[in-house]
Amino acid sequence: MKTIGFIDFFIDEWHANTYPGLIKNYNDKFGTDFVVKYAWAEVDSMQDKLTTSEWCDKMGAVKCDTIKELCFKSDYVIVLAPSNPEKHLAYAKEVFACGKNPYIDKTFAPDYATAKEIFDLAKKYNAKFFSSSALRYADEIFTRNAKSTAVVTTGGGSNLPEYIIHQIEMAVKCIGKGATKVRYIKDADQEWVEVKYNDDRSVKMLYSPWMPFTCISTNDDGKSEYKKIDSPFFDNLIADILNFFTTGEVSFDVSETLEVAKIREGAIKASEQENVWINL
């Protein structure tokens, strides 16, 4: 049995509740034996949520009193807190210091400076890690070979600051790094974020609460594609996390995570002054 420990701000949330089942499905499919065995949460309970002990009883896991205890007992570590990226720096520092190589859930960090600090800490402790929105793993874009020159994405969620990362992840996957500036335009409940580069590449992202995830790209092979994202991207994410735990290899250039953090920070700043270009 290969044990996984969950670190979270509060444990009764969608990612912590969903990942154990996806891991079990992976085991059933590939004959592996990963299991979420340990959990630690900074906040023991939230209103109308299970306490950490109640969650552990439900999931068949063991509550740990400290991150250090969890790292000592677990073979592998997943840092969650998907809605609290401001917590990731402190959690990652403890995990790296314990000699673990974690997966850190989206959103990776609240801003570019914090993201860079986590990367610097990993280097200090000689730790490997990766982070990603699950949308990077959509079959519709994950299996693409062509790089894009222009990308338009759409997507929804409860608010732009938290959910725009999914579109940014898709865009960076398709178009690569090198964004230089962003601007924001709002029309009713439609919010547009435009990203510019020093070359002929461009990205436009449309956020609206009930908008489905889609990706429209013009590729450097001269072909255009429209893809509605409806593949099992969370299953694909879990598969890549478990492959990382097994091999120590990350399937993409992790510096793209810094690019995602840079664009997200710029998009949020731009949303405070509509139709003004913000340098990244």
pLDDT over threshold 70, residue 223 = yes
Relative to beta strand 179-187, strand 76-79 is: unpaired
CATH code of the domain containing 119: 3.40.50.720
- The predicted pLDDT at position 148 comes to 86
Provide the domain limits for residue 120: 2-131
Cα separation values, 167 from 7, 16, 195, 218, Å: 25, 22, 12, 16
Tell me how far apart the alpha carbons of residues 37 and 224 are, in angstroms, rounded to a whole number: 45
Among the three residues 108, 131, 154, which one is the final residue of a domain in this structure? 131
* Confidence class for position 45, pLDDT limits 50, 70, 90: confident
Q: Is residue 233 a contact partner of residue 139, using CB atoms and an 8 Å limit? A: yes
Considering 82, 108, 131, which residue would you say is the last residue of a domain? 131
Q: Are residues 77 and 26 in the same domain?
A: yes
pLDDT for 143 equals: 60
- pTM of this prediction? 0.95
Report percent pLDDT > 70 for the chain. 98
In this structure, are strands 34-41 and 2-8 parallel, antiparallel, or unpaired?
parallel
Residue 235 carries which side chain, given as an amino acid letter? D
Contacts 24+ apart (CB under 8 A), 236-239: 236/134, 236/137, 236/138, 236/139, 236/142, 237/132, 237/134, 237/136, 237/137, 238/19, 238/22, 238/23, 238/25, 238/26, 239/26
Q: Could you tell me if residue 250 is inside a domain?
A: no
pLDDT tens-digit map of 191-204: 999 999 999 999 99
Tell me the three state secondary structure of residue 207: strand
Confidence class for position 219, pLDDT limits 50, 70, 90: confident
State the sign of the Cα–Cα–Cα–Cα dihedral 157, 158, 159, 161. Answer: negative
- Cα gap 251→249, rounded to integer Å: 6
CATH number at residue 172: 3.30.360
At 98-134, the pLDDT tens digits run: 999 999 999 999 999 999 999 999 999 999 999 999 9
- CA 257 – CA 279 distance, rounded (Å): 18
Q: Is 274 found in the same domain as 175?
A: yes
pLDDT digit string, tens, across residues 133-178: 999 999 998 666 667 899 999 999 999 999 999 999 999 999 999 9
**Could you say which of 131, 157, 185 is where a domain stops?**
131
Total number of domains in the chain:
2
Please give the pLDDT value at position 220: 76
